Amino acid sequence: MILIPIMMLVLLAAVVGEYIIPERHSRALGAIASGIVLLLSLYLILAFNSMTAVQTTFSVSYISSFGIDLSFVLSNISVILVLLASIVSFAAVIGGNPGGERRRASNALIMLFELAAIGFFTSGNLFILFIFWDVGVVSAFFMINYLGSGGARSSAKNYLIYSIFASALLLFGIMMIYFYTPVHSFNLSTIEASGASIPIWVQETIFALLLIAFFVKMPVFPLHSWMSDAYSDASTQGSMVLSGILSKFGAYGVFILFLMLPISHTYAKYILIIAIVSALYAAFNAMVQSDLKRMAAYTSMIESSLILVGIAAYNSFGSEGAVYGMLAYGLAASLMFLSVGSIEFTFGSREIAAIKGAVKSASASVYSFLIALFGSTGVPITAGFIADLFIFIGSYQSYGFVGLIPIASLVMMGGYLYYAVDRSFLSTFKHSHPVRIEYWHWDMGYAVLVAAIIVFGILPSILIGLR
C-alpha cells in the first residue's frame, strides 16, 4: 500500500515546513497536510473492501541482516485507526489551541505525532512499530512540557518516566519475541503463525511485559497516575491527541498481543477483572472532580477500560466493539478536550462551579461538549452507542452478567455529568461573565468531530462491514 508512506511523507514535509514558513501561515499549512492525509484515509476506508492482500501491503527491505522490512500492512483494524488518527489530528490542527500561542511548534508536533500514529497502527513489523511508538511518546512529551500550562513540568516528567518505562518493557518484550520465535522474525504475520511454538514460560513473560507497557499507555487502573495530570496540563491540542490517539496505542497493542501469543486467551478473564476495576475506579474519580479537564481525563480512562472489556471478551462482537470503541471514544474524547479547552479560554477558568450559564455566551462550545458527552456515554445516533452495544454483547456472550458490570461506570459517569452540566453550563438563572470572545476556528474543529461522531453513529455499516 503505497498510500501509507505517501501520507507519512506529506506529514514529514509539513513538519519541516512549519519551521520554514512564518507563524501566520502555520495553520493553513497544517490544515492542508493533515487534510490530504484525511482524504487519503477516507479513500482507504472506501476502497478497502475491494483491495487484495497484495494491495494492502507495502514492504521494502530495511535492515536485511535482521530480516527487518519497512513494511506497512493495512488490516481491517488499522484502517479504522488510521482514520481516527487523521480525523483527530485534522480537527486538532484546524481547531487550534484556543489562545493560538506557539502555533508552529504545536502544529509541527501534532503532525509528527500523526505520522507516528499512522506508522504505529499500520506497521507490519514489531521493530518499526516500536520506533513509531517512541516517536509518538516523545512528541507527546513536548506537547505537555513545552506547550502545557499549570504544573506542566512535573506532569510531563511523570508522563515521561511512565512512558519510557513502558517503552523499556516493550523493547525487552519485542527482543524476546524475536529470539524465541523459531524463525527469528519481527514480522507480525510470521509471529502470529508461529506464536504457539514459543515456550510457555517465555510467552507468559512476554505477555506480562507487553501488557504492562500497553496498560501504561491506555491507561488502566494501577498504572494510570500519570494520566490525569498529563491530560489536564497539556495544551488543548496536546490533550486532544493524547486522549484521542495516544491512548489507542495501548489498546491496539493489547489487540495485537492477543493475536500474537496464543497464551493470552487464558488470561483474558483476569484482564476483564482489571478492566472492571479500572472502569469503576475511574468513574468514582470522575465524580469527585471539580475541574472540567480532569473530569474529561477520567472519562477517557473509563472509555479505555471499556475498550479493554471488549478485547477481553475475546469474541467477534467484543473485538468489533473494541475497534469501533477506539474510533468512537477517541473522537468523543478529543471533542470533549477541544470544547473544554475553549470554554476554559473563554471563561478563564475550568472549575465546573465557575462556569454558570455558559450556554448563553459560548453556545458552540457547550453544545459540542454535550455531543461529546453523548458520544462518551453511548447515546444512540452517536458512534459511542454502536461501540457500547457491541462491547457489551460480546462480554455478555463470554462472561455472562459479570461482563455487564462495567455498564455501572457509564451510568455513574453519565448521571454525574448530566447533573453537573445541567447545574452549570445550562443554568438559566446565573451567568458567569466570559473573559474573552469565541474564535471562529474552534467551530471548524467542532464541526469535523461532531460530523464524524454522528456519521459513524448513524452509518456504522461503513466500518463494520470491513473484512
Is the CB of 43 or the CB of 201 nearer to other proteins? 201
CA–CA distance, 323 with 255 (Å, rounded to integer) = 9
The nearest distance, CB 186 to other proteins, in angstroms, is 11
Closest CA to 92 of 455, 343, 449, 362: 449
Are 122 and 78 in contact by the 8 Å Cβ rule? The answer is: yes
Is the CB of 135 or the CB of 389 nearer to other proteins? 135
CA–CA distance, 67 with 207 (Å, rounded to integer) = 23
CA–CA distance, 219 with 225 (Å, rounded to integer) = 9
Is the CB of 136 or the CB of 445 nearer to other proteins? 136
CA–CA distance, 320 with 31 (Å, rounded to integer) = 31
CA–CA distance, 280 with 412 (Å, rounded to integer) = 9
The nearest distance, CB 219 to other proteins, in angstroms, is 18
Single-letter residue type at 333: A
The nearest distance, CB 189 to other proteins, in angstroms, is 21
| DSSP H or E run through 68 | strand 68-73
Is the CB of 164 or the CB of 287 nearer to other proteins? 164
Q: At residue 234, what are phi and psi to the nearest 5 degrees? A: -70, 165
Chain position carrying cell 474510533: 327
The nearest distance, CB 157 to other proteins, in angstroms, is 6
Is the CB of 21 or the CB of 63 nearer to other proteins? 63
User: DSSP of 260-306, one letter per residue?
Assistant: H-GGGGGGHHHHHHHHHHHHHHHHHHHHT--BHHHHHHHHHHHHHHH
The nearest distance, CB 70 to other proteins, in angstroms, is 10
The nearest distance, CB 176 to other proteins, in angstroms, is 6
Task: Please give the grid coordinates belonging to residue 441.
Answer: 476556528
Closest CA to 384 of 337, 324, 467: 324
Torsion of CA 114, 120, 124, 127, to 10 degrees: 130
Question: Which positions touch other proteins (CB under 8 A)?
Answer: 62-65, 130-131, 134-135, 138, 141-142, 145-146, 153, 156-157, 160-161, 164-165, 167-169, 171-172, 175-176, 178-179
Is the CB of 187 or the CB of 365 nearer to other proteins? 187
Is the CB of 237 or the CB of 395 nearer to other proteins? 237
Is the CB of 65 or the CB of 428 nearer to other proteins? 65
The nearest distance, CB 218 to other proteins, in angstroms, is 19
CA–CA distance, 226 with 141 (Å, rounded to integer) = 12
The nearest distance, CB 129 to other proteins, in angstroms, is 11
The nearest distance, CB 294 to other proteins, in angstroms, is 22
The nearest distance, CB 408 to other proteins, in angstroms, is 37
Task: Please give the grid coordinates belonging to residue 197.
Answer: 511454538
Are 162 and 216 in contact by the 8 Å Cβ rule? The answer is: yes
Q: What is the CA radius of gyration of the chain?
A: 21
Is the CB of 41 or the CB of 106 nearer to other proteins? 106
Are 359 and 399 in contact by the 8 Å Cβ rule? The answer is: no
Is the CB of 180 or the CB of 267 nearer to other proteins? 180
